[in-house]
């Protein structure tokens, strides 16, 4: 069994801006676990534990999905608290695309493969403890309208997550190029 999700690891040029924001967040009055540079991604659908023989089947399905969509540009938007400002478990960046293609891609993945799909975002850190919630929310609001770059979403990936002592290690099991 492998813990897997469908998503997209971020291109290196986008990671630089995100790492700078993570470095700033480390100075905030909170305790959190940052997502490692090599693991920065956007998640389209969390599949959970899947059997090794399902990998081939899921790979075939995302190949078919990839043939239905042309690559498109997405923008990395502002910071937000998940699930909300009253109970902050995660700090994340929005992934924005205005033509509706990203939502259509999510819908197609959910229809064809299933899994747990959430609105597009990039997790920066998992929050363990907040010393001053008001201060944190003020900082989040300052960062909410900032942008962190754009990139061409030209593929979707089946990604395996293996837990190690240092944290999760992600590896791309299968990649499907978009048209």
Instruction: Supply the residues annotated as catalytic.
Output: 41, 121
Q: Scanning the structure block, which residue is given the tokens 């770059």?
A: 149
Whether 127 contacts 20, CB under 8 Å: no
Cα(162)–Cα(120) distance, rounded to whole angstroms?
22
User: In sequence order, what are the residues at sequence separation of 6 or more whose Cβ sits closer than 8 angstroms to the Cβ of residue 157?
Assistant: 6, 7, 8, 9, 172, 173, 174, 175, 176
Count the neighbouring beta carbons within 10 Å of the beta carbon of residue 22: 19
């Amino acid at each position: 069994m492998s813990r897997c999700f469908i998503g997209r690891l971020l291109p290196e040029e986008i990671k630089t801006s995100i790492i700078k924001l993570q470095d700033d967040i480390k100075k905030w009055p909170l305790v959190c676990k940052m997502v490692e540079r090599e693991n920065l991604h956007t998640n389209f659908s969390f599949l959970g534990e899947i059997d090794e023989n399902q990998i081939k089947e899921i790979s075939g399905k995302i190949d078919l999905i990839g043939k239905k969509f042309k690559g498109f540009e997405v923008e990395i938007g502002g910071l937000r608290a998940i699930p909300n400002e009253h109970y902050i478990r995660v700090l994340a960046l929005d992934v924005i695309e205005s033509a509706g293609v990203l939502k259509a891609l999510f819908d197609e993945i959910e229809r064809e493969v299933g899994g747990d799909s959430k609105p597009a975002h990039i997790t920066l850190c998992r929050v363990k403890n907040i010393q001053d919630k008001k201060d944190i929310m003020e900082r989040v609001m300052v960062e909410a309208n900032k942008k962190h770059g754009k990139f061409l979403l030209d593929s979707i990936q089946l990604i395996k997550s293996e837990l190690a002592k240092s944290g999760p290690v992600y590896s791309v099991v299968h990649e499907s190029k978009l048209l």
